[in-house]
Every structure is written in C-alpha cells, then in structure tokens.
C-alpha cells in the first residue's frame, strides 16, 4: 500500500542487480523481467512501490498491475480511498493470473510469489488459486482475518511491530485462522522496531535499517527456496548440479544490497533472530486423536462391563452362595457356579490379552513361527532375552507366539460372554427357582433374577464392546487409516493404540485421552528394551521430519531433558543392526532439534553431548553419520559457549580439520560421490563458524585451529583444485580471513607455499557471474588481511610481480575496494628495502584521485587511505603533477575532504576509518604545501577538527574487527592526529 509510512523514503536501486528488460505483453500485461529466460523457475513480484531486480539463473517477473498509475501520496486530489477504486487487489489478482499462465506456457515449472504492501493482498488471493507453489507477504495491506480461508500453498507473512496498517494483533489473528483453515505450512514473523514498508523503503546509509531489511530478505529467500519445487537448471537451460546453489545465490542478489555481507574491516553486532509468532503445525488435528477417542469409548464400555461383572460376582458369592446356598435348586446352583467360573475366565483372559497384544504388535508373521528357536541361534552377545524371542515351551513356538495367544484369549472371553448370555436368558425365561417354602426362600427368586440380570447386562455390554472393536478395527480399518495419515508403520500405530487402551483400562478412563504419539514415543525411547527403543525413535523421527507435525514434535522433545539425554546417549551406540538404525535416527532428530536456538542450548547442556557428537565423526568414512554430526556441530557453533566446548573436546578439532581434506582426484572428478563433497563442505562450514567466533573465545579458537598443521594445507588444496566447487573455495577463503585476524596466523598462512599466489589468481580471475565475483571479492579481502601489518606477506606479493595487475584492478568495480586496501598495505608495511618496487604504485595516483572525487562509503575510505600512503613516496611537485593528470584542482580535493568530514560528523559503523584517513591526507597536504592550509582554513577545517575531537571513539582506533571487538590497534590515536592537524592550522596563523 502506498501509504505515507511506506513512502517515507525513496527506494535506492542496487546497481549490482543488473539490467532487465521490459516485455510489452506477458499475459496481456506489461512486465519488467530479469534473469535467464531458459530457467524453469520463476518468482512473481507484486508491488506498487518496489522494483529491484537481479540478473540471475532464474526468471523474475514484475508485472505492471497498476498500468503505470502508482499511488502518489503527494497528490491531495486523489487520496488512497479514490485511487484504490481503480486498483483493487482483487483486480490485481485477476490480472496476475494470465501472467502466470503465460509463464507456464513458456515452460516455467514452478512459481513462487512475493507481495509487498498492496501486492501482499494480491499474492494472498493468488494462494487460493492453486497456481503458485509458495508465497511471501511483506507488510501486506488491506488483508483481513477472513482472507486466510482457502489458502492452498505454504505462506509466510512478515509484519512490522510499528505498523498501523497490518498490526501485530491482526497478524496473530491471521495466524490462528491459518492454523484452522490453511492446507499448507505457514509462519508469521513480527520484526521488532520496524515500521510498515521497512523491507523496501529505507536509507542505505542507515546500517541498522539495512540490517533489518536484510533479515526480512533472508527469511523470504529461505521460504521460497524451501517450498518452491526446484528443477535445477543452468544458465543455458541445461540441468545443472549447481542449480540449487545458484538459485539461492541469485535470489539473494535480487534483493540484498551489494556488499551487505559483514566485513572484518567494520564492526558488526551478532545477528538477532526475529520473533516468530506462528507455531506451524501446532494447531493441526493429530490423526492419533481418532485412536485415543476410540480407546476412550472402549474403556467406558469395558469399565461398565467390569463394574457390572464385579457386582454380579459379589452378589453371587455373598448373597446367593452365602445366604441361599442350601435353598438353591441343583440347576441354579450349577448355573451360578458355571457363570462365576466363566466370568473368572473372562477376567483372566481380559487381564492378559492386552499384555500379549503388546507383544503381537511387533511380532511379524514371518518371525512369529521362529520365535521359539531364535534365541538358540542368537549370537549377538545379548545378556537379556528379547520379549518376542522368549520360547514358552520347547518345539511349540507356533502355538505360543504372541499373536496366537492373544487371539486365543480373545476367543476365550467371547465364549465366556456368550455362555453368560445363554444361561442367563434361559433362567430368566424359565423362572423355575423352586417352591417358596419358609422364610429362607422368600427372597430367593428376586435375588436370582438380579444376578442373572447383572450377568446378562455385563455380557451384552462386553459383546457390544467387541462388536464396536471389530467394526472399527476390521471393517473401518481405523489402524491402517491412521497409519497412512501419520505416514507410520502399522506396528507403531497398533502398539500406540494398545498402550492407550491399556491406560484407559488400568487407570482412569481419561488417562488415554492424554496420550499422543510424541509422548508415546518418548516413553518407549527411555525403555531398556531394544524393540521399544526402536519403535520410539522411529516414531519421533517420522514426526520430526514431517512438515505438518515437526514444529510441535520438536517443541515437545525440546521440553523434555530426559528425552534429549537419551537421544544424545544413543549417538554413542556403535553396534551394527538395530543399534545402528537407532543411532542414525537419533542423530537426525537431534539435527532437527538443533535448528532452534533454545534447543541448541539444551542439547549442549547435556553432559557429554559434544563428545557424543564427536563419536559420529569418522575420518575416511563416507557414511551419513559424518554429515549429521557436522550438521549438529554447525548449529551448536552458533553459540559462543558451545564453540568453547567444541574447541575443548578432545580430538574433535583435528577430526573436523581432517574432514576438510579433499584431494585433487576428488575435486576434479565429475562423478565423485555427492556425500564426499557434502562432507567437505559441512566440515568447512563448521570450521568457519568456529574461527569466526567473536571475542576472547574466538581468539583462542583461531590460535588452536591455526596450530593444527593440516588446516591451511587442506584449504590450499581446495583453492588449487576446486575450480568447479566455488562454494568450497569461498568457505576456505572465509576461514583464511578469520584466521588472518590473528597476527601469528597471518605469518603461518603466508608461509604455507602457494596460498598467496592462489588467492591472487582467484582475485584476478575474470568473473562473469555474481558467484564468481563474490569469490573474487572474498579473495581480495583475505589478501588485504594477510598484508595488514605483515612485512613478509607484503614482500611475497611484491615478489609475485602482481603490482601492475593490482593497479589495473583499481578501475574494476568488483575489485577496486580490496585492490586499494592491498596496495595501501604494501605501501604502509612493505618495508624500506622494498621502496624501489613500491615506487611503481605512484603511477596509480591519478586513477585513485578520480575515484575519490566520486566514491562513497567503503570505496571512498579505501581510496583516501591508499592516497595517503602513496603520498609518502611523492614530493609536492609530483603530487601536483598527478592532480593535473587526473584533471583535479588541489582546491577541489580539499573541498572533497572537508565534505567527507561534514558528512561523517560521528563515527560510522560501515566506514569506521574514514575520518582518520581524511585527517591523515589533510596533514600530508598541509605539510607539503602551505597553500593548502589556507584552503582548509577558508572551509572552516579547524571547526570540523574540533568537532571530530569531541566525537572520537574506540571504533576509530582499530584496523579490523571481530564482531564488535576491535583488533589490531592503530599506532596513532585519532586524537593525536587531530591535534597535529590543528597545530598545522594554528602555525599558519
């Protein structure tokens, strides 16, 4: 919606997004398109305010659903109430459908839709058409709770805390409505401290606003990636193994500003997660509730029958046999005795039937006939019997297997009930209880009628229960139906039902209603019987991996310390067979559990948890245990304390580093096993998180990792031979960057043969895609770090004779920032013995001066810093000559420097050193040319310097940063530089 709140700031289009084209007719609508037309994937952006597109390997369409008539808040004659009459969201939805149809006609196989503001309502209506695979609504307008009915695809709604258009209260009501009516998964997130339109309307120089927008963009990208069914394609339309990664990367470039990733040359806070308000799946009707309700009803009938039977038994023993024993005729005495015996038989059968039904629940037909013989042949070394393996009698296994015993007991009860019905009815009809003679026989007839009536009622209720059981189980196939709905095996469902029914019978009839599959599985998980453990872990694994049930299941697991402890314990089990399956499924459950930060803390708090995860890692093993262990470790490494535990766990760091090893044969083998590459990638991701940890813990971890002799050499192999695995190369470079924050590690990296040359090679490699350019940028930043305060590494680059190429890179938009940083470090730390080789860099001065006059933010900071260092090799005349070659007057440069100080009146997070380099350059110019002093005085430089002196902070005292912690302090404080500059200005007076 084009509200004043939304349109407070004009959008800044990202120049890195690339060029798109305008299509005059796409489904009858003009549209802006970007990306490869050969892609099989498409994203539809619907908005009245947003038009930021990227070139990428997937097709992006922004249809002009407003027909070149956007709402203008500056037009008082046409308020929103009038404008919306011509552009209702319903009309937008109808106009979008032909666009979708046109895309599908062009071969697009999957379409996701993203709506901003007004477009949010349009996309919401599209979700009901079944024509899109997923949807994201960013600060939508015009939506109501009733609009949530009929949503057919996964939907995510991103809302603002300070939004009067779609308030958090409204969105929470929408979430409740989605839980009741939506056919797909859903989630609603309320982002704190932001207002309507924050994802697209913000100032690019506001770091906090940029960060909040990027968090929303990241969620949107993850949602689209997760739910749009992907068919990876390459840029030329052919299927590509890199399709999934390219899809994610290109979408990221669509929305996120270039250079938005954190740089070590600027501080950044630890990321904070927006608070989700939805519990996806928690309101979904659990299929097992059909079973608990069925067991509850059976329990009522069973308890009623048992109550009547108990009453009849007491009446017969106390009243009839106790008071009228001598008065009973022979027939009644025999029948009463028979009925008591049959009732006792039924009670016996009932009390043992469920016990044998439990055993039958996991005894397969094939294994049933062998259960009497299996233990004789069992050689697995168990010290306890399996319940299903116990031989009741030798050579009689088929008769005494659980299934047949349970069935026999059931028939025994049925026969007893039928006998009760027959005998009771006969006597109630005949009524020949003998002549009433004397007072002792006066009440005999009513007493017998009551007994036979109770026996008849009890038997009939029991038969009703059996009929209801047979109808629901055998005819309606209730167990099979629930099994299909839960996607669980019939054995697990049958066992769950018998357990629930047992609770209804043995305790309160309401106890069974408290049962669900999660609590059932948790109980089995902590059992000492392997069969029960296997069923429990299978059920939990299935529920934790099904979208409908996963969130609620993981929440319940996470709230049970006992269950988490057992899952962690299972990670240590190493026996083959069933234990291996249990271990695998337990690892997968823990991996899913660790996706939530609160669960990560609970898992890590279990004594021995990290050691158990270490046991999953086996070098030279390609099993899935390595991948699962690394996946869990990566999630644990998001917390500083957990990083410390990982670093202190014996032999764990060496294992992780050993798993980063990738030979040339593996990296250049097009048919290499995917699991091997994924293992290397996962180990690199874990290592990256560990070495990028901020603060003191990060410093210790970087030292420990750099001291392991295989760390850098393994990464070198990836850089050298991993041309077809850019993701691995980027991860390796990011690890080197983090390690290079430590001074001693810089020397170790530089002294490892070939590393600097490989980084230079990657840095200068021509880039044709965003992924390639991103890799080049990472390599440049790594080189800038390695040369920081390192004379030896500077000398290595100078010996590589790449100075000319670095100077040429100053005109490359992708490389110029890091090229400037590298050249600055070469000049600053190259040493006096390299002065002759460094003097060549002065030829780059005109290029750098031109950049300074036009650059902003990080490029401006890097360029002025390079100029300051180059000037140390120049005399005033040479400097003046370079200014002339650049076509710049000295006064123009002075004006630019003063403007920068005016713009940055306070320290800036994104460019913490910009004021320092400006003052250093001003000092050199005032020292080399006294005329410059007058120029600075005329522009009130003294007042600006005094303002800087009043606002200096620790932020401006460091070269690099680890999170919010400064590293590598400048040799001179900013205050001392300000004093020097003020002294030069005063000396002129």
State the Cα–Cα distance between residues 424 and 170, nearest whole angstrom.
Answer: 65
Position 782 confidence tier, pLDDT thresholds 50, 70, 90 = very high
State the Cα–Cα distance between residues 568 and 589, nearest whole angstrom.
Answer: 10
Mean pLDDT computed over 519-545? 88
Mean pLDDT computed over 122-129? 86
Same domain for 135 and 208, yes or no, is yes
Print the domain residue range for 915: 889-989
Mean pLDDT computed over 956-964? 83
DSSP string, 409-425: HHHHHHHHHHHHHHHHH
pLDDT at position 407:
64
**Segment among 120-129, 344-353, 714-723, 828-837 with least mean pLDDT:** 344-353
pLDDT of residue 683 exceeding 70, the answer is yes
pLDDT at position 354:
56
More confidently predicted of 51 and 914: 914
Coarse DSSP helix, strand, coil percentages of the chain, rounded to the nearest 5 percent: 65, 5, 30
Position 622 confidence tier, pLDDT thresholds 50, 70, 90 = low
Contacts of 244 (CB under 8 A, 6+ apart): 225, 230, 232
Burial (CB count within 10 angstroms: exposed 0-12, middle 13-18, buried 19+), residue 836: exposed
With CA atoms as reference, report the closest residue to 531 among 360, 351, 406. Answer: 360
Largest CA distance in the chain: 146
Domain count, the chain: 5
Position 7 confidence tier, pLDDT thresholds 50, 70, 90 = very low
Q: What is the 8-class DSSP label of residue 766?
A: -
CATH number, domain of 612, equals: 1.25.40
pLDDT of residue 396 exceeding 70, the answer is no
Q: What is the pTM of this model?
A: 0.65
- Where are the extended beta strands (E) located within 117-248? 134-138, 155-162, 186-195
**Segment among 8-17, 46-55, 392-401, 980-989 with least mean pLDDT:** 8-17
Burial (CB count within 10 angstroms: exposed 0-12, middle 13-18, buried 19+), residue 563: buried
Position 68 confidence tier, pLDDT thresholds 50, 70, 90 = low
pLDDT of residue 54 exceeding 50, the answer is no
Helices (H) and strands (E) in the chain, counts: 46, 11
pLDDT in tens, 752-772: 888 999 999 999 988 778 888
Residue 509 within a domain: no
Position 698 confidence tier, pLDDT thresholds 50, 70, 90 = confident
Residue 743 within a domain: yes
DSSP string, 180-210: HH-SS-EEEEEEEEEETTTTT---TT-HHHH
Same domain for 78 and 215, yes or no, is yes
Same domain for 809 and 902, yes or no, is no
Indicate the residue among 212, 239, 260 that finishes a domain: 260
pLDDT of residue 325 exceeding 80, the answer is no
Mean pLDDT computed over 549-571? 89
pLDDT at position 272:
47
pLDDT of residue 528 exceeding 60, the answer is yes
Question: Encoding tokens for residue 411?
Answer: 């028939």
More confidently predicted of 391 and 309: 309
Same domain for 659 and 794, yes or no, is no
Question: Encoding tokens for residue 403?
Answer: 């299934």
Indicate the residue among 839, 869, 888 that finishes a domain: 888
pLDDT at position 760:
92
Mean pLDDT computed over 237-253? 34
pLDDT at position 833:
66
Same domain for 87 and 234, yes or no, is yes
More confidently predicted of 122 and 260: 122
State the Cα–Cα distance between residues 681 and 686, nearest whole angstrom.
Answer: 9
Indicate the residue among 727, 753, 779 that finishes a domain: 753
pLDDT at position 4:
44
State the Cα–Cα distance between residues 794 and 7, nearest whole angstrom.
Answer: 49
Question: Encoding tokens for residue 945?
Answer: 């310097």
**Segment among 260-269, 558-567, 605-614, 947-956 with least mean pLDDT:** 260-269
Question: Encoding tokens for residue 751?
Answer: 């002294």
CATH number, domain of 787, equals: 1.25.10.10
Mean of all residue pLDDT scores within the chain: 78
Residue 841 within a domain: yes
pLDDT at position 5:
45
Residue 368 within a domain: no
Question: Encoding tokens for residue 611?
Answer: 């050691």
pLDDT at position 217:
84
Same domain for 328 and 418, yes or no, is yes
Question: Encoding tokens for residue 387?
Answer: 């319940």
Residue 831 within a domain: yes
Same domain for 849 and 906, yes or no, is no
CATH number, domain of 84, equals: 3.40.50.1820
Residue 23 within a domain: yes
Same domain for 883 and 893, yes or no, is no
pLDDT of residue 688 exceeding 90, the answer is yes
State the Cα–Cα distance between residues 238 and 243, nearest whole angstrom.
Answer: 10
Q: How far is CA 711 from CA 63, 226, 704, in A?
A: 50, 33, 10
The region that residue 431 occupies, defined by phi over 0 for left and psi between -120 and 50 for alpha, beta otherwise, is left
pLDDT of residue 722 exceeding 80, the answer is yes
pLDDT at position 384:
56
pLDDT at position 663:
87
Give the side-chain half-sphere CA count within 13 A for 867. Answer: 32
Residue 668 within a domain: yes
State the Cα–Cα distance between residues 452 and 426, nearest whole angstrom.
Answer: 9
Phi first, then psi, for residue 193 (nearest 5°) are 75, 15
Find the angle CA(695)-CA(700)-CA(703) to the nearest 5 degrees.
Answer: 125
Same domain for 39 and 120, yes or no, is yes
pLDDT in tens, 923-933: 999 988 888 88
Mean pLDDT computed over 828-848? 80
Residue 447 within a domain: yes
Same domain for 138 and 230, yes or no, is yes
Same domain for 312 and 427, yes or no, is yes
pLDDT of residue 848 exceeding 60, the answer is yes
Same domain for 666 and 625, yes or no, is yes
Position 427 confidence tier, pLDDT thresholds 50, 70, 90 = confident
Q: How far is CA 288 from CA 280, 295, 355, in A?
A: 18, 11, 21
Contacts of 597 (CB under 8 A, 6+ apart): 273, 638, 639
Task: Report the percent of the chain where pLDDT is more than 70.
Answer: 76
Asked whether the beta carbons of 197 and 211 are under 8 A apart, the reply is no
Count other Cβ atoms within 10 Å, centred on residue 306: 17
């Amino acid at each position: 919606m084009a509200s004043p709140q939304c349109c407070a700031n004009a959008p800044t289009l990202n120049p890195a997004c690339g060029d798109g084209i305008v299509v005059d007719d796409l489904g009858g609508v003009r549209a802006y398109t970007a990306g490869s037309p050969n892609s099989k994937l498409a994203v539809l952006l619907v908005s009245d305010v947003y038009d930021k597109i990227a070139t990428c390997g997937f097709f992006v369409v922004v249809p002009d659903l407003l027909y070149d008539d956007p709402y203008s808040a500056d037009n008082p004659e046409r308020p929103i109430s009038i404008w919306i009459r011509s552009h209702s969201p319903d009309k937008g939805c109808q106009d979008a459908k032909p666009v979708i149809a046109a895309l599908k006609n062009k071969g697009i196989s999957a379409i996701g839709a993203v709506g901003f503001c007004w477009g949010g309502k349009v996309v919401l209506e599209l979700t009901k058409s079944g024509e899109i695979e997923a949807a994201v609504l960013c600060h939508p307008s015009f939506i109501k709770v009733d609009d949530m009915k009929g949503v057919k695809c996964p939907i995510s709604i991103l809302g603002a805390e300070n939004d009067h258009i779609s308030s958090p209260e409204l969105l929470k009501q929408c979430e409740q409505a989605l839980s009741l009516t939506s056919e797909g998964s859903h989630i609603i997130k309320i982002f704190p401290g932001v207002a309507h339109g924050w994802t697209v309307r913000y100032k690019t120089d506001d770091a906090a606003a940029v960060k909040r927008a990027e968090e929303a963009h990241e969620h949107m990208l993850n949602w689209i990636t997760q739910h749009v069914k992907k068919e990876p394609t390459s840029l030329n339309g052919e299927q590509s193994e890199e399709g999934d990664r390219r899809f994610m990367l290109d979408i990221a470039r669509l929305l996120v500003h270039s250079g938005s990733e954190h740089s070590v040359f600027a501080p950044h806070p630890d990321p904070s997660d927006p608070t989700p308000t939805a519990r996806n799946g928690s309101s979904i009707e659990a299929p097992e509730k059909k079973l608990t309700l069925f067991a509850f009803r059976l329990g009522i009938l069973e308890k009623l029958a048992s109550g009547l039977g108990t009453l009849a038994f007491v009446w017969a023993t106390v009243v009839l046999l106790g008071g009228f024993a001598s008065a009973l005729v022979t027939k009644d005495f025999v029948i009463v005795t028979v009925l008591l015996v049959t009732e006792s038989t039924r009670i016996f059968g009932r009390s043992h039937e469920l016990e044998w039904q439990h055993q039958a629940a996991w005894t397969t037909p094939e294994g049933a006939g062998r259960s009497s013989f299996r233990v004789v042949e069992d050689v697995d070394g168990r010290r306890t019997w399996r319940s299903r393996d116990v031989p009741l009698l030798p050579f009689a296994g088929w008769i005494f297997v659980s299934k047949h015993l349970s069935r026999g007991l059931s028939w025994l009860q049925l026969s007893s009930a039928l006998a009760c019905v027959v005998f009771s009815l006969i006597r109630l009809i005949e009524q020949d209880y003998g002549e009433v003679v004397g007072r002792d026989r006066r009440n005999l007839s009513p007493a017998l009628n009551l007994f036979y009536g109770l026996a008849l009622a009890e038997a009939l209720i029991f038969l009703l229960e059996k009929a209801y059981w047979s109808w629901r189980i055998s005819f309606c196939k209730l167990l099979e139906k629930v099994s299909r709905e839960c996607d669980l095996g019939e054995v697990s469902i049958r066992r769950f039902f018998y357990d629930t029914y047992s609770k209804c019978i043995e305790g309160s009839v309401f106890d069974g209603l408290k049962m669900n599959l999660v609590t059932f599985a948790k109980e089995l998980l902590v059992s000492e019987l392997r069969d029960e453990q296997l069923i429990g872990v299978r059920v939990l694994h299935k529920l934790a991996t099904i979208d409908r049930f996963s969130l609620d299941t993981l929440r319940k697991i996470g709230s049970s310390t006992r269950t988490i402890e057992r899952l962690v314990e299972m990670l240590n089990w190493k026996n083959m067979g069933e234990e291996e399956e249990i271990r695998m499924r337990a690892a997968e459950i823990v991996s899913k559990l660790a996706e939530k930060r609160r669960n990560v803390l609970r898992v890590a708090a279990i004594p021995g948890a990290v050691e158990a995860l270490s046991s999953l890692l086996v070098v030279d093993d390609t099993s899935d245990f390595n991948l699962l262990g690394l996946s869990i470790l990566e999630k644990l490494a998001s917390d500083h304390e957990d990083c410390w535990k990982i670093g202190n766990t014996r032999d764990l760091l060496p294992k992780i580093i050993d798993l980063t090893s990738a030979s040339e044969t593996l990296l250049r083998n097009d048919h290499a096993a995917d699991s091997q590459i994924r293992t290397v990638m996962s180990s690199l991701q874990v290592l990256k998180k560990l070495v990028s940890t901020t603060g003191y813990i990060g410093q210790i971890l970087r030292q420990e990792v750099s001291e392991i002799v295989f760390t850098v050499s393994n990464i070198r192999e990836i850089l050298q031979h991993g041309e077809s695995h850019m993701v691995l190369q980027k991860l390796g470079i990011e690890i080197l960057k983090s390690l290079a924050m430590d001074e001693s590690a810089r020397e170790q990296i530089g002294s490892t043969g070939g590393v600097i040359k490989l980084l230079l090679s990657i840095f200068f490699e021509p880039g044709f895609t965003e992924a390639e350019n991103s890799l080049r940028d990472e390599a440049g930043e790594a080189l800038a770090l390695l040369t920081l305060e390192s004379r030896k590494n500077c000398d290595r680059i100078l010996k590589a004779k790449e100075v000319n190429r670095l100077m040429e890179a100053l005109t490359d938009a992708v490389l110029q920032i890091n090229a400037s940083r590298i050249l600055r470090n070469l000049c600053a730390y190259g040493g006096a013995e390299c002065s002759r080789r460094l003097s060549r860099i002065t030829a780059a001065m005109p290029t750098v001066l031109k950049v300074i006059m036009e650059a902003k933010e990080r490029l401006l900071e890097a360029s002025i810093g390079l100029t300051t260092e180059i000037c140390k090799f120049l005399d005033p005349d040479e400097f003046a000559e370079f200014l002339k070659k650049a076509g710049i007057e000295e006064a123009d440069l002075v004006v630019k420097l003063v403007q920068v100080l005016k713009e940055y009146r306070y320290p800036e997070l994104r460019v913490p050193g910009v004021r320092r380099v400006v003052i250093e350059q001003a000092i050199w110019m005032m020292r080399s040319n006294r005329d410059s002093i007058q120029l600075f005085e005329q522009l009130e430089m003294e007042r600006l310097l005094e303002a800087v002196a009043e606002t200096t902070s620790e932020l401006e005292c460091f070269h690099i940063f680890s999170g919010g912690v400064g590293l590598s302090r400048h040799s001179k404080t900013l205050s001392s530089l300000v004093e020097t500059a003020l002294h030069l200005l005063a000396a002129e007076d």
